């Protein structure tokens, strides 16, 4: 090593004139395709150890464009972090690069890229920060100026440029000198394939004049100058395609290298690397195995004779990548922009996938494949419905217009009928997918009894909610797609939907009580649970909700009996007595629900360590207490808990709000109007209609202040409810509960949001206004 001497890169000193490249150290799916497989962390750590500890190589080169930043992260994991607590005779020098893409046009983008590289590398400042390419609509001086600013701020120790020809080197050095800095290095392709090119020779002179160190990438021509080259490998090497090289042109050059390899008892790669060192450049080598790393290190500690260097110079070729036509440069900057964007998309997808899998792996195992797939379907359906609900009024040009020839009759009109039909079909399909996905989840989880009590209760409430909405969706779809009236079923299910509208908030109340109780430690040190009587009233409220549903369906069946039928005549007083009994049961169950809610609320704030054992619960024999259930915020619950939390509480309430947002403006589509003989009530509730009537009726009389355009005021209830409950949930239970409560608050705000129509203001779908 002493024979090699020290090498200076600006103010930085290298013990060995060799650098390790990490272009193939990316971790993304794209790297696996481009580099024919990814390296594992253990191999990368072994390579770093071989170079740094065994051979004293301290220069490591990476870039934000290598693997979309994952190469920098891997270098941090295998080199920077392990060396932080170790005393080294000399520190490692790490270089990375700024990639000027078409998405970057300001000094701020340069600063953000630098900060991102520092975070990914785990360092406060970059030893050498290269400008990866001069190809950009902005001049090279602009980025050099930005680098000088960061260098003065202490975030860059030395400034480098890359892939710059002689003219660009001189321009960059002049710009850096204007700001009191210097260009320390120019990283270019430097090997025996391009040494005789005039462009490279002029660039070498420019670098020598300005004391710019040459960092040589591709010193062995991407394998073109090694023993392992074959015809098959030659056809796959990108450098050969870029320089339009043919195999026969390498015959003489490879012959000289092989002869010198035999003379020095070295490999062909070691001869090429040592030739690079003899010209004062620092070869940058990427390795994919320990064998390659050991072979690369064999170029150190000796020198080629001067006559052998001259012989290699004479046989060198004239290929170069420093001079390209303008169209190729434009194509190149467009390509790297798309590549960086692809890397970012890939990294985002990997991040989301990892978060998603960790979400369903809280107890060491993932959720059932069918359940997990159904969750994906539900989330995608929510996104599609939100997009359709937002876009439809704009892209279909939907509005209310006065029917020509009339004064007080309005009709629904759209400028794109076919597009409106398509959007409606898309919404119908997405809604059907949502309900089918939820049905799969509910069917899979309904019979579970080995989970905490609150999970079972929330599962029941969610099932009630979704089953009613699903049945109503089926009835409305059958009515719209066929000639079947379905009015009785729609009327009954509309009442049932009103009944189960409280289920989401009731679920959140149960969850919050259990989470709050879990923060309490029992006398034996275990996490607490709600008091026994609170658990009992949770069961009572859940079963009372089920009883209310039963009453709704029975009442709907009895109410639809023909009044002149034989059944009516036979039943007589018995039928009226049954209706009275049904009403009494309904109100009793309603009072039971609200009384149970009040008791649970009181228990939430009166729980103590002694009472948090759940002792004395009447229904403890039916379900496990699981007093050691971890808290949600510690993310230790099971996939079942998460399924209930996301797909039963948040999704159902949010979808209910979306239905309001979408259905209210489009309700006129399903209206069959009768001749307006006078003022008629505004009604959006399906009641007091016969076979000739329709579900939705609007007032045909033109009212004062009529505006034919549909107006939507600022959604203050949705925004306010979402923000308020998000804050409460965050301070009450952390990010997970904050997200759930925020969605529930937004959905509940939809119920209160006023939607203005030509007939007045309608709160949700249940406002009624009568004209006297």
Residues forming beta bridges with residue 94, ordered by sequence position: 60
**Crossing angle between the packed helical segments 198-209 and 166-178, to the nearest 10 degrees:** 20
- Statement to judge: residues 393 and 503 lie in one domain: no
pLDDT of residue 575: 52
Judge whether residue 680 has pLDDT over 50. no
- Statement to judge: residues 438 and 457 lie in one domain: no
Answer positive or negative: Cα dihedral of 253, 258, 263, 268: positive
Q: How many structural domains are present in the chain?
A: 4
pLDDT of residue 477: 77
- Statement to judge: residues 571 and 650 lie in one domain: no
- Statement to judge: residues 55 and 186 lie in one domain: yes
- Statement to judge: residues 669 and 586 lie in one domain: no
pLDDT digits (tens, 9 = 90+) for 710-754: 444 445 555 555 665 566 555 444 555 556 656 665 555 554 444
pLDDT of residue 235: 75
Residue 216's H or E segment, with its range, is strand 213-217
Instruction: Please tell me the total number of residues recorded for the chain in this structure.
Output: 772
Mean pLDDT score, 422-433 = 82
The winner for highest mean pLDDT among 212-221, 372-381, 404-413, 414-423 is 212-221
Q: Minimum mean pLDDT among 290-294, 338-342, 701-705: which range? A: 701-705
Answer positive or negative: Cα dihedral of 380, 384, 389, 390: positive
What is the 8-class DSSP label of residue 335?
A: H
pLDDT of residue 129: 94
- Statement to judge: residues 624 and 655 lie in one domain: no
Judge whether residue 15 has pLDDT over 80. yes
pLDDT of residue 46: 87
- Provide the 3-class DSSP secondary structure of residue 529: coil
Judge whether residue 433 has pLDDT over 80. yes
Assess if residue 410 is contained within a domain: no
Assess if residue 355 is contained within a domain: no
Answer positive or negative: Cα dihedral of 105, 110, 112, 116: positive
- Statement to judge: residues 509 and 441 lie in one domain: no
Domain boundary (293, 327, 361) is at 327
Judge whether residue 274 has pLDDT over 70. yes
Domain boundary (327, 361, 386) is at 327
CA angle 81, 82, 83 (to 5 degrees): 90
Provide the residue range defining the domain that includes 391. 372-397+417-445
pLDDT digits (tens, 9 = 90+) for 747-770: 555 544 444 444 443 333 333 333
Q: Minimum mean pLDDT among 185-199, 216-230, 412-426, 722-736: which range? A: 722-736
Judge whether residue 343 has pLDDT over 60. yes
pLDDT digits (tens, 9 = 90+) for 99-154: 888 888 889 889 999 999 998 888 889 999 999 988 888 889 999 999 999 999 99
Q: d(Cα 553, Cα 489) in Å, to the nearest integer? A: 9
Residue 60's H or E segment, with its range, is strand 59-61
pLDDT of residue 276: 92
Q: d(Cα 299, Cα 309) in Å, to the nearest integer? A: 14
Pairing relationship of beta strands 12-14 and 7-9 according to DSSP bridges: antiparallel
- Statement to judge: residues 663 and 608 lie in one domain: no
Assess if residue 460 is contained within a domain: yes
pLDDT digits (tens, 9 = 90+) for 593-618: 888 888 888 888 888 887 777 776 66
Assess if residue 408 is contained within a domain: no
183: which residues sit within 8 A by CB, 6+ positions away? 144, 159, 160, 161, 169, 172, 173, 176, 210, 212
Tokens of 348: 């985002």
Assess if residue 345 is contained within a domain: no
Residue 442 vs residues 360, 436, 504: alpha-carbon distances, Å:
17, 10, 15
- Statement to judge: residues 440 and 458 lie in one domain: no
Give the closest residue to 400 by CA, choosing from 640, 613, 699: 699
The CATH number that applies at residue 300 is: 3.20.20.100
- Provide the 3-class DSSP secondary structure of residue 556: helix
Q: What is the mean pLDDT of the chain?
A: 72
Domain boundary (586, 605, 631) is at 631
Q: d(Cα 726, Cα 643) in Å, to the nearest integer? A: 20
Judge whether residue 184 has pLDDT over 80. yes
Judge whether residue 592 has pLDDT over 70. yes
Assess if residue 363 is contained within a domain: no
Judge whether residue 561 has pLDDT over 60. no
pLDDT of residue 412: 64
pLDDT of residue 37: 61
Mean pLDDT score, 579-591 = 75
Assess if residue 242 is contained within a domain: yes
Q: d(Cα 321, Cα 125) in Å, to the nearest integer? A: 31
CA angle 614, 616, 621 (to 5 degrees): 85
- Statement to judge: residues 182 and 104 lie in one domain: yes
pLDDT digits (tens, 9 = 90+) for 628-664: 333 333 333 333 333 343 344 344 444 444 443 444 3
Mean pLDDT score, 501-515 = 84
CA torsion angle 57 127 209 7 (round to 10) = -20
Residues forming beta bridges with residue 768, ordered by sequence position: 683
pLDDT of residue 459: 77
What is the 8-class DSSP label of residue 715?
A: -
Q: d(Cα 386, Cα 263) in Å, to the nearest integer? A: 73
Assess if residue 550 is contained within a domain: yes
- Statement to judge: residues 45 and 164 lie in one domain: yes
Residues forming beta bridges with residue 187, ordered by sequence position: 162, 215
732: which residues sit within 8 A by CB, 6+ positions away? 512, 515, 516, 741
More confidently predicted of 579 and 564: 579
- Statement to judge: residues 463 and 610 lie in one domain: yes
């Amino acid at each position: 090593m002493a024979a090699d001497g020290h090498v200076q890169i600006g103010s930085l000193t290298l013990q060995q004139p060799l650098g390790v490249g990490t272009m193939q150290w990316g971790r993304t799916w794209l790297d696996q395709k481009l580099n024919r497989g990814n390296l594992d962390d253990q191999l990368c750590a072994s390579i770093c150890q071989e170079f740094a500890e065994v051979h004293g190589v301290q220069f490591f080169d990476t870039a934000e464009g290598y693997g979309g930043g994952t190469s920098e992260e891997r270098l941090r994991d295998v080199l920077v972090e392990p060396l932080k607590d170790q005393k080294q005779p000399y520190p490692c020098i790490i270089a990375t690069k700024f990639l000027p893409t078409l998405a970057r046009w300001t000094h701020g983008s340069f600063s953000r890229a630098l900060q991102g590289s520092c975070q990914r590398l785990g360092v406060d400042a970059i030893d050498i920060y290269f400008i990866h390419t001069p190809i950009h609509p902005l001049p090279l001086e602009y980025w050099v100026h930005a680098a000088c600013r960061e260098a003065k701020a202490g975030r860059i120790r030395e400034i480098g440029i890359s892939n710059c020809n002689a003219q660009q080197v001189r321009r960059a050095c002049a710009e850096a000198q204007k700001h009191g800095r210097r260009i320390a290095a120019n990283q270019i392709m430097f090997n025996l394939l391009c040494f005789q090119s005039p462009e490279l020779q002029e660039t070498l002179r420019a670098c020598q004049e300005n004391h710019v160190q040459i960092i040589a990438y591709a010193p062995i021509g991407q394998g073109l100058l090694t023993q392992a080259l074959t015809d098959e490998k030659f056809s796959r090497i990108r450098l050969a395609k870029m320089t339009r090289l043919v195999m026969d042109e390498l015959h003489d050059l490879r012959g000289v290298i092989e002869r010198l390899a035999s003379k020095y008892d070295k490999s062909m790669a070691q001869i090429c690397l040592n030739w690079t060192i003899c010209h004062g450049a620092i070869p940058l080598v990427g390795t994919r195995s320990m064998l390659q790393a050991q072979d690369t290190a064999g170029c150190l500690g000796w020198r080629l004779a001067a006559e052998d260097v001259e012989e290699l110079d004479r046989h060198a070729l004239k290929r170069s990548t420093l001079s390209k036509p303008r169209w190729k440069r434009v194509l190149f900057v467009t390509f790297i922009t798309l590549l960086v964007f692809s890397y970012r998309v890939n990294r985002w997808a990997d991040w989301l996938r990892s978060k998603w899998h960790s979400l369903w792996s809280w107890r060491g195992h993932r959720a059932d494949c069918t359940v997990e797939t159904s969750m994906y379907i539900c989330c995608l359906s929510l996104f599609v419905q939100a997009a359709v609900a937002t876009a439809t009024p704009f892209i279909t040009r939907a509005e209310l217009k006065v029917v020509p020839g009339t004064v007080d009759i309005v009709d629904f009109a759209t400028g794109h009928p076919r597009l409106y039909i398509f959007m409606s079909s898309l919404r119908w399909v997405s809604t059907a997918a949502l309900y089918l996905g939820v049905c799969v989840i509910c069917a899979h989880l309904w019979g579970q009894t080995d989970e905490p009590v609150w999970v079972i209760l929330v599962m029941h409430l969610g099932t009630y909610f979704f089953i009613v909405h699903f049945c109503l969706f089926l009835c409305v779809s059958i009515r719209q797609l066929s000639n079947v009236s379905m009015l009785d079923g729609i009327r009954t299910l509309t009442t049932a939907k009103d009944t189960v509208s409280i289920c989401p908030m009731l679920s959140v109340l149960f969850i919050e009580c259990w989470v709050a109780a879990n923060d309490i430690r029992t006398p034996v040190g275990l996490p607490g649970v709600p008091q026994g009587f609170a658990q009992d009233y949770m069961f009572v409220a859940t079963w009372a909700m089920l009883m209310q549903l039963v009453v709704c369906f029975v009442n709907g069946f009895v109410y639809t009996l023909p009044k002149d039928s034989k059944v009516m005549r036979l039943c007589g007083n018995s039928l009226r007595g049954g209706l009275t009994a049904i009403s009494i049961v309904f109100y009793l169950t309603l009072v039971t629900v609200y009384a149970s809610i009040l008791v649970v609320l009181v228990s939430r704030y009166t729980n103590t360590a002694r009472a948090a054992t759940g002792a004395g619960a009447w229904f403890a024999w039916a379900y496990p207490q699981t007093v050691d259930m971890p808290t949600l915020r510690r993310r230790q619950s099971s996939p079942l808990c998460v399924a209930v939390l996301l797909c039963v509480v948040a999704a159902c309430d949010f979808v209910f709000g979306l239905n309001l947002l979408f259905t209210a403006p489009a309700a006129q589509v399903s209206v069959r109007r009768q001749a307006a003989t006078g003022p008629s009530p505004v009604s959006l509730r399906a009641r007091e209609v016969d076979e000739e009537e329709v579900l939705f009726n609007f007032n045909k009389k033109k009212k004062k202040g009529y505006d034919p355009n549909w107006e939507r005021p600022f959604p203050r209830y949705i925004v306010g409810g979402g923000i308020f409950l998000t804050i409460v949930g965050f301070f009450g239970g952390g990010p997970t509960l904050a997200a759930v409560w925020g969605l529930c608050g937004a959905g509940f705000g939809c119920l209160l949001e006023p939607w203005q129509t030509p007939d007045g203001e309608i709160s949700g779908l249940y406002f009624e206004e009568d004209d006297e």
